[in-house]
Structure 1
Amino acid sequence: MIETRRLEPADRERWEELFRAYIAFYERELDQTAYDRAWREFASDARLHALGAWLDGRLVGITHFLVHPSTSEPDLCYLEDLFTDPQVRGRGVARALIGAVRDWALEHGCGSVYWQTHETNAVARRLYDDVARNEGYIVYTLPV
């Protein structure tokens, strides 16, 4: 059975292992201050939020998300990061985390949950196509 809940201080080391693997999956690098900053934000649970998924008592998946206002509907919940340990993929961990974020968003009055993934992430997209609707938007990024 998969348990989902907020991360606690004792989860820090394993969370960082999983988050580093997520960053590496997207061929990015972060310095230690970025991990430390993210953890502080999750601990305060004010602007950024994090949930974990446990399977057989081990933290095997993480998700990070935030809420922002919308001009045309209730606040939106943006699921920013989602990662599961490759050894447990296909066992429902990512689906459970998405469901936990959806439940959190519902409890907090959000109108919807949305996220993005790279077009080449075929494995994740199969799950996403099953649990959500691809509305066809293209994402542009303008560095500042």
Structure 2
Amino acid sequence: MQNVNVRAAVSTDYEQWLPLWESYLQFYHTDVPTRVTEATWDRITTQGGDHQCAVSEDEAGRMTGFVIYLFHRSSWAATWNCLIEDLFVSEAARGLGVARQLLDKAFQEADVRECYRTYWQTEETNKRAQRLYETVATRAAVVQYRR
């Protein structure tokens, strides 16, 4: 596992974060309007906002990945749930343990809040990510519906 610096995103990270975000959207064959991307960035860099974002940097200070997560109340517990909404690592940094370190950062924040559950989803075809996920969590037996 490569040791990377994982830290909270700050507003000045936008220029390095944006290409990673665009690659992430491309990976999922989706596009979001610029105003949504800007709103997302605002939510993750506003103190006390509803979204949190951690970024990873290599030894040269280049951003190599990000994880976006948010906390919401649970109807099954007196505490919070943590939803890891987005996780992405650049192609050059894949296989080096960066995704695991980003997940660990989200897990640490969830532990601080004593979250009842930390959860996320991925495409059925994303087998590479699933290999990692199955080492840190249990696959849920739920079916997701969308409207």
Relative to the length of structure 2, the TM-score reads 0.92
1:85-106 residue CA offsets vs partner (Å, 9 max, x unmatched): 0111000000000000000111
Shift of 1:31: 1.5
State the match for 2:10 in structure 1: 8
Cα distance in structure 1, aligned partners of 2:33 and 2:76: 37
Q: 1:52 aligns with which of 34, 50, 55?
A: 55
Letter in 2 for 1:22: Y
Q: 1:63 aligns with which of 61, 67, 70?
A: 67
Question: Is the contact made by 2:51 and 2:69 (CA closer than 8 Å) also made in structure 1?
Answer: yes
Cα distance in structure 2, aligned partners of 1:66 and 1:28: 21
1:29-59 residue CA offsets vs partner (Å, 9 max, x unmatched): 1111111101111111421111101121211
| Mapping for residues 9-88 of structure 1, pairs under 5 Å | 9-44=11-46, 45-56=48-59, 57-73=61-77, 74-88=79-93
Structural RMSD (CA): 1.0
Cα distance in structure 1, aligned partners of 2:138 and 2:120: 11
Would you identify which runs of 4 or more consecutive aligned residues in structure 1 move more than 2 Å?
A: none
State the match for 1:127 in structure 2: 132
Cα distance in structure 1, aligned partners of 2:101 and 2:143: 26
SS of alignment partner, residue 130 of structure 1: helix
Cα distance in structure 1, aligned partners of 2:42 and 2:12: 13
Relative to the length of structure 1, the TM-score reads 0.94
**Any unmatched runs of 5+ in structure 1?**
none
Cα distance in structure 1, aligned partners of 2:22 and 2:4: 22
Q: How many pairs are equivalent? A: 142
Cα distance in structure 1, aligned partners of 2:22 and 2:128: 20
Shift of 1:132: 0.8
SS of alignment partner, residue 79 of structure 1: strand
